[in-house]
Structures are given as structure tokens and as C-alpha cells.
């Protein structure tokens, strides 16, 4: 039923991925110093604090592993720049706790501090119980919380709010507070006395009201670093703020005091380790996962630090996807080229999605649609999200490239497009009083409105044949878009998905499909949908050998 996301079972592929990952572990021991930066609400200073910590600890010579709780591309991109290594998203709605833990452990390798930026308020989740909140993630990873508190025009009441956070869920380790927008030294003194006296936790920093925003902002929040000419300038400034106003040694002490015990008990695991070989297990109801001797080899992102620093850095070769859906005997001999739109207009790609394509046998070819004269020789296209509206004149003006995309789609090239990528494939975009011709692969026109048309998590049921997902398959993703379909699609154009949660194209459907093209407003994460990358590569192979 629409809206009944609780009753939608996790995809079989997610459970299979969890078994595969956990079967490789000797123990889910987490020892990296870590902390989660949370707030009382959105816009309370979490991002500035997280970036300041990442940049400062990096400048001190620490290896910083950055993470962002929830679906987010822009903050994660800034965190990647601040820390000097890829930021990973951790989301308990998009993928299961075992997968989240495995991702955290792998991405933390080689680091001596992990910084997780929360989202919204500490206990804000999908419902009244705070499901999938930052607090739930902190408990899962046994990460102490540093709370960023906007203290504009308040003193002792801030202590009451912090005390409420402490008592609402005692299992969340609230280890310290950083004050933001402090009016002056007297204001800070009263706040410190109130909070430390009433709550019994230290104030680890007091950031004053800053004269101007350090980071440029736009309708989706911060302007992405890809569109910022001098990326190092705001990062240098936020590092200076952190070094001047934060107790960095105290915060590092909080991270180092994090619980280092095994996380097996958190997941109800039974002896996941050397002693488990020879014992078969399976995913049980309620999310319990046991080890198995014959793991399914799918979607396990396993280079030495679970990270690829660039699309060109390496091609990961694995033995093959050996379940009934993916009978591939030799990935090495069947490499295909996957074109990825990548420039200021298209930036929204999870690292795991790109890595998943590489591991499935895809060679990634970056393509800048604002500059390329024609589509290079590729076997499939992946169009991520971004801000095509802000570069609409350049995109629309590149007529030869638009024509080459349109021609390739007509020839059967598999194309998977999300959000901004779906807009690019449309006929026209109406934006700020202008109308821009686009690729015309999907015969619909788009408009742009001041408020989000779709924003939040999505649950999709696959209801029509398409190149990438089986009918009946349930997917979890997210959407955030100001664009919308101006008119209904023409007769005969199918939607691949029925919306159980979210807006999509029309509040009921998502995923316009024509030929081998699927254009959706929903963003997917490869850790939550591990069958997606192999399916796209498989479609590319079919096209290559047609």
C-alpha cells in the first residue's frame, strides 16, 4: 500500500550482500577513534563543525575518514575535500545495519579518526520513533556524539535541551557540546557554567557569530565544491575557525575514548570468524545474519582501503557474480565501457556506485556534456544528478553532443539516468523565464519551482519491464528535486515504478522507460541495491555484442 514502507521487505540482493560481506569477517571489531557530529535541528552548525574538524585534524597529520549520515552528495563532497579521502554515506534506511558497519570498517582502514556528520536533529528520523536517525547510527557504531548547539538568544535553556537529548535515549553517548553563534565572552561563560553544571559534559568549543558565511549556498544547501573556483579558500577559513575556537585535543580525546568492543552482539551474529568455516548460515527474520561457507560473490567492495580516489585509478577484477541472475564466467575478458556524465552540471555519484560498476567489469569513461562535441564510443551511459538548470544555456547550446546522445539512445544504447540526468534526457527545460532544448530522448518537458517537488526517501515497486530491474523488485532510494514534469507523457510511454513512498514524476510513478533508457527521479545507492551495477554492465555487454 502507498506509504506502508515498514511492510516492504528488504530486497533479496541486500540480504545476499550482507551474508557475503559478513562471511569474510573474522570479527566486527571497531577500534578506530570516532565521533558523530549531531545537532538539535538542521542548520545548527553541524556541517561547519564537521568540516572544521576534518580539515584541522588532517592538517595535524591525522588520517581522517569522513562519513555523512543519510543521503547527501554536497556535504559529502566537501567532507571529501576537507579530509583528503572519499566520504562515504551511511544510511540505515537505504541499506541494512550489517552493510553499514562493513562499509564503515572498510572505509576507516588506514585512518586514525573517523568523523561522521549527522543530519537534521540527533533523534529526527522517518517517524515519531526516530527510525533511522543519527542517534540510531551512533548507537550502532558505538560512536560518541558531539552536539552542535545554536545558542542564539539563549543561555540556561540550552542546557535543558541538551539534558533532554541525554535522557531521551541513555544508550546514545553524548560526550560533549560545541556552541555556535555565541554572542560574546559573557554569553559563553554563562552557557559553559549552565551546561557543564546541569548536564555534566564538557563544552568543547564556542564558535562566535561569524561575519559572513564561509561556504556559498544555493537552493539545495551548499554550492558543490566542483562549482567553487577556490575550494581551498573556504576550507582554509573553516580550519582557522576550528583551530581558534575548538578544543581539538579534547574532541580527539572523545573520539579515542569510543567503545572498541566487537559489534557482533549489536547485530545478533553467531561467531562470525575462523571458527565459523564449515557452518552454513542464512539471513533470518528480524535481520540476524550468520556466516556461511560458500558466500555469494556480489558487490563486495574490497580494495585495500575500500576506496578509489579517481575513476581512472584502477579496474577491480573479481571472480564473477555467481547467482542465478548473473552467470558471468570471465569479467576480465568482457570489459565494457560505461560513460559517466561528469562536470559542473552532473556531480551526484556515490563512490560505491562507480566502484560497483568497475567491479562488475565496467571501464568508466568520464564525459563532460557541456564541452564534449560528441559521445565517445561507450557501451552504456550513467547520468547522475546535479544542477543541469544552472548550466542549461551551455548544455542546450552543445547541439552536436545532444544529437549524438539522442542518436545513441535511438540505436539502443543502455542509459540509466537519475534526477538531473533524467531532466537532461527530456525535450525542454523551462527555467527562470527561458526555455532550453535538451536531448529529447524522453518526450517530456520540465519546469522548475521555488520549493522542492520531491524531497526524502522513496520506496519503489518495479511494475514494468526495463533493462535493469526485475518486475516485482522493490527498491529503496531518495529524491530531492525542484524540477517537475510540465505535462503528462505521451500515450504508450511506460513508467517502470510505482511509488510506495515519495513523489517521483507525478506522486504515483517514477522511472520513465523508452527502449533501453530508464530515467528516474530516485537516486539509488549500490550498497542498498547491489544488483543495479551488474545489471547495467550486463545491459552494456548485450549492447556491445548485439
Would you give the DSSP letter of residue 6?
G
Residue 282, number of CB atoms within 10 A of its CB: 10
In DSSP terms, 245 is beta-bridged to none
**Residues pairing with 228 in the sheet:** none
Q: Which of 25, 87, 165, 419 is catalytic?
A: 419
Per DSSP, the chain holds a count of helices (H) and strands (E) of 15, 26
* 25 flagged as catalytic: no
φ, ψ of residue 255 in degrees (nearest 5):
-65, -40
Backbone angles phi, psi at 302, to 5 degrees: -130, 50
Residues 6+ apart with CB under 8 A from 289: 15, 18, 19, 22, 98, 267, 268, 269, 281, 283
Per the CB < 8 A criterion, the answer to whether 362 and 88 are in contact is no
Distances in Å between the Cα of 206 and the Cα atoms of 115, 148, 188, 216 are 19, 10, 7, 22
Structural contact between residues 54 and 437, judged by C-beta atoms closer than 8 angstroms: no
Q: Under 8 Å CB-to-CB from 162, ≥6 apart: which residues? A: 147, 149, 174, 177, 195, 198, 199, 201
Which residues, in sequence order, are CB contacts of 501 under 8 Å at separation 6+?
Answer: 2, 3, 5, 456, 457, 458, 459
Which residues does the annotation mark as catalytic? 419
Amino acid at each position: 500500500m502507498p506509504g506502508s514502507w515498514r511492510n516492504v521487505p528488504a530486497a533479496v540482493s541486500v540480504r545476499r550482500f550482507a551474508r557475503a560481506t559478513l562471511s569474510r569477517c573474522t570479527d566486527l571489531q571497531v577500534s578506530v577513534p570516532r565521533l558523530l557530529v549531531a545537532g538539535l535541528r538542521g542548520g545548527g552548525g553541524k556541517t561547519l563543525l564537521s568540516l572544521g574538524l576534518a580539515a584541522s585534524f588532517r592538517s595535524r597529520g591525522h588520517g581522517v575518514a569522513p562519513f555523512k549520515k543519510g543521503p547527501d552528495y554536497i556535504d559529502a563532497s566537501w567532507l571529501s575535500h576537507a579530509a583528503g579521502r572519499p566520504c562515504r554515506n551511511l544510511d540505515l534506511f537505504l541499506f541494512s545495519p550489517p552493510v553499514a558497519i562493513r562499509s564503515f570498517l572498510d572505509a576507516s582502514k588506514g585512518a586514525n579518526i573517523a568523523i561522521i556528520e549527522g543530519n537534521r536533529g540527533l533523534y529526527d528520523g522517518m517517524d515519531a520513533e526516530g527510525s533511522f536517525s543519527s542517534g540510531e547510527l551512533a548507537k550502532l557504531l558505538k560512536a560518541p556524539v558531539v552536539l552542535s548547539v545554536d545558542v542564539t538568544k539563549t543561555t540556561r535553556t540550552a542546557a535543558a535541551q541538551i539534558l533532554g537529548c541525554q535522557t531521551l535515549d541513555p544508550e546514545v553517548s553524548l560526550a560533549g557540546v560545541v556552541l555556535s553563534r555565541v554572542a560574546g565572552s559573557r554569553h559563553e561563560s554563562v552557557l559553559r557554567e549552565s551546561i557543564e553544571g546541569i548536564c555534566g559534559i564538557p563544552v568543547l568549543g564556542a564558535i562566535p557569530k561569524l561575519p559572513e558565511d564561509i561556504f556559498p549556498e544555493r537552493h539545495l544547501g551548499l554550492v558543490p565544491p566542483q562549482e567553487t573556483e577556490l575550494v581551498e579558500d573556504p576550507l582554509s577559513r573553516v580550519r582557522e575557525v576550528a583551530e581558534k575556537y575548538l578544543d581539538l585535543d579534547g574532541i580527539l580525546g572523545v573520539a579515542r575514548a569510543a567503545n572498541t568492543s566487537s559489534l557482533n552482539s549489536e547485530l545478533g551474529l553467531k561467531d562470525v570468524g575462523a571458527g565459523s568455516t564449515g557452518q552454513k548460515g542464512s539471513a533470518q527474520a528480524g535481520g540476524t545474519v550468520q556466516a556461511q561457507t560458500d558466500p555469494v560473490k556480489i558487490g563486495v567492495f574490497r580494495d585495500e582501503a575500500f576506496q578509489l580516489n579517481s575513476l581512472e585509478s584502477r579496474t577491480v577484477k573479481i571472480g564473477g557474480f555467481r547467482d542465478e541472475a548473473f552467470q558471468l564466467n570471465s569479467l576480465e575478458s568482457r570489459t565494457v565501457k560505461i560513460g559517466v556524465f561528469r562536470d559542473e552540471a552532473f556531480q551526484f555519484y556515490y563512490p560505491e556506485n562507480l566502484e560497483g560498476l568497475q567491479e562488475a567489469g565496467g571501464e568508466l569513461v568520464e564525459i563532460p556534456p557541456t564541452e564534449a562535441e560528441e559521445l565517445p564510443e561507450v557501451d552504456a551511459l550513467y547520468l547522475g544528478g546535479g544542477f543541469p538548470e544552472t548550466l542549461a544555456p551551455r548544455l542546450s547550446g552543445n547541439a552536436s553532443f545532444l544529437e549524438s546522445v539522442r542518436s545513441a539512445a535511438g540505436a539502443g544504447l543502455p542509459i540509466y539516468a537519475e534526477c538531473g540526468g533524467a531532466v537532461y534526457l527530456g525535450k525542454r527545460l523551462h527555467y527562470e523565464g527561458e526555455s532550453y532544448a535538451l536531448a529529447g530522448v524522453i518526450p517530456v518537458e520540465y519546469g522548475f519551482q521555488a520549493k522542492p517537488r520531491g524531497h526524502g526517501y522513496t520506496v519503489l515497486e518495479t511494475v514494468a519491464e526495463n533493462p535493469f530491474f526485475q518486475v516485482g523488485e522493490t527498491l529503496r532510494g531518495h529524491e530531492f528535486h525542484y524540477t517537475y514534469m510540465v505535462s503528462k507523457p505521451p500515450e504508450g510511454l511506460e513508467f517502470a515504478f510505482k511509488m510506495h513512498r515519495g513523489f517521483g514524476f507525478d506522486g504515483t510513478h517514477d522511472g520513465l522507460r523508452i527502449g533501453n533508457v530508464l530515467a528516474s527521479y530516485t537516486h539509488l545507492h549500490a550498497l542498498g541495491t547491489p544488483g543495479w551495477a551488474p545489471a547495467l554492465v550486463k545491459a552494456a555487454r548485450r549492447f556491445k555484442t548485439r
